[in-house]
A and B are shown apart, each in its own frame.
Chain A
């Protein structure tokens, strides 16, 4: 094996300026999008899981037995909610914890990139993943289940997806802030699924009583489902939908606050 060549003589023009934020964001976003597209687990969580739930919710056995009730928009909203919860809690939070353990964040932090740009880039990629998932799901709902929306409803739904993404991603951020170990976070994330997502599925059902229905309706998952089903049917947008928008924003602020306050960049 030949020896490495002589050392390249660097140009004698050291950078005497901090790079512009646009340069930093361009580099981070390009890398984060590439990572997202090459991550099979993320793709599975983003697309396969919500499509399976969509099929299950519209399947005849679920309808006949009254396991899940609600109008078609609510069922699509439930599938969308599952997708966003999966991306944020099982995808985003896990990746953050894993990268922290590997020291990837520490390597990025010794560059001129401000710490907030590192996390913002990742969050923007996750929001984009949520929007892509929503597009695929809405197309599938239209093609296979006949749930078609008017143009205004599609626009409102995508805006709702952005708000809902903020909620679930802030939950993911809070979990990654509170739980340092990736292994522990994996277990905690699965448990957190119940109150965060599954509880919301019963937001329009009183089979467990009205108190349970009230709790499930205003759980993070239930709030998002109310918001999205309202967005998909603008004519039924009412005070509950407005309240769901306000509650989802409040959840985002609280969980993001926890995530920022307790987040640690290093694993030690």
Chain B
């Protein structure tokens, strides 16, 4: 029997008078990859930030494996691994020292050979003595994902994990995300890439103006909305996930 890795109920987050997240509810099953899609400013990162504990929700509840994030922040943080949209580490530290620091923060003591092994697995063994800023974009993303999973968390939160990567690096990262799922972990990711959502995610939610508009499998979303007039109006031939996305969220540019 599989349980829920994450339960978000009626989550609301406000920045002053502006409501960024407006009654979002999400359930993520164990071993599931769940994608959160939305235009800029839709509330994806705010939702993730509330789950990560970076933002205090106005109301609502967040349970990670039945652990209340607000009541037990330390334990909740131990149950998640996080890759932020843009990551930076102390420029004076070598990447092996960064891995050691973050492993230590989760109470995972790693020896030098163990750190080297982990870096080698993501093809950064030769870069162990370099600084984070000296790595390429793809290498930085791989290291960030390694650090997010250094304590083998049951739930991994990835905020636009492949943005700015070339196709090769993106495919490599997808393989790694898939590998994390295969080991029984759950993943919640945000993305702007419909291709990524279709290739990687088991289920997808499209959100806009702080609300979830629809949730289903990528194929299920297309099936559900293929006859929607707004979707048909933007479709160029066979209806795709991107057509559904634009049909539901509109064509106007978002800042």
Q: Point out residues on A near B: beta carbons under 8 Å.
A: 2-20, 23-24, 26-28, 30-31, 34-35, 38-39, 99, 102-104, 106-114, 266
Residue in B54, B77, B82 whose CB lies within 8 Å of A266: B54
Q: Which chain B residue lies CB-closest to A117?
A: B105
A110 and B84 within 8 A (CB): yes
Residue in A6, A13, A31, A112 whose CB lies within 8 Å of B77: A112
Given the interface pairs A4-B142, A18-B75, A19-B78, the reply to whether A30 lies near B54 with Cβ below 8 Å is no
B78 and A31 within 8 A (CB): no
B183 and A31 within 8 A (CB): no
Instruction: Specify the main secondary structure of chain A where it touches its partner.
Output: loop
Instruction: Give the Cβ gap from A100 to chain B, nearest Cβ, in Å.
Output: 11
Residue in B72, B90, B172 whose CB lies within 8 Å of A31: B90
Q: Point out residues on B near A: beta carbons under 8 Å.
A: 52-54, 72-75, 77-80, 82, 84, 86-90, 92-93, 97, 100-109, 118, 120-123, 142, 149, 151-154, 172, 175-176, 178-180, 182-185
A12 and B184 within 8 A (CB): yes
B84 and A103 within 8 A (CB): yes
Given the interface pairs A15-B151, A110-B82, the reply to whether A34 lies near B179 with Cβ below 8 Å is no
A27 and B104 within 8 A (CB): yes
Bound form: Cα–Cα A114–B107 in Å: 13
B77 and A103 within 8 A (CB): no
Chain A residues contacting B53 (CB-CB under 8 Å) are: 109-110
Chain B residues contacting A15 (CB-CB under 8 Å) are: 78-79, 106-108, 151-153
Q: Can you name 6 A-B pairs with beta carbons within 8 Å?
A: A4-B172, A16-B75, A17-B78, A28-B104, A103-B86, A112-B107
B105 and A19 within 8 A (CB): yes
Chain B residues contacting A11 (CB-CB under 8 Å) are: 152
A-B contact number at CB 8 A: 142
Instruction: Give the Cβ gap from A168 to chain B, nearest Cβ, in Å.
Output: 22
Bound form: Cα–Cα A24–B120 in Å: 25
Residue in A10, A24, A112 whose CB lies within 8 Å of B183: A10
A107 and B87 within 8 A (CB): yes
Chain A residues contacting B92 (CB-CB under 8 Å) are: 34-35, 38-39
A106 and B107 within 8 A (CB): no
Bound form: Cα–Cα A111–B89 in Å: 13
Chain B residues contacting A3 (CB-CB under 8 Å) are: 172
Instruction: Give the Cβ gap from A209 to chain B, nearest Cβ, in Å.
Output: 47
Instruction: Give the Cβ gap from A5 to chain B, nearest Cβ, in Å.
Output: 6
Residue in A17, A18, A102, A111 whose CB lies within 8 Å of B102: A111
A5 and B77 within 8 A (CB): no
Residue in A8, A23, A24, A114 whose CB lies within 8 Å of B121: A8
Chain B residues contacting A10 (CB-CB under 8 Å) are: 149, 152, 180, 183, 185
Bound form: Cα–Cα A34–B94 in Å: 10
Bound form: Cα–Cα A103–B123 in Å: 25
A104 and B97 within 8 A (CB): no
**A-B contacts besides A24-B105, A38-B92, 8 pairs, CB < 8 Å:** A7-B180, A24-B104, A27-B105, A31-B100, A103-B87, A104-B88, A110-B80, A112-B106
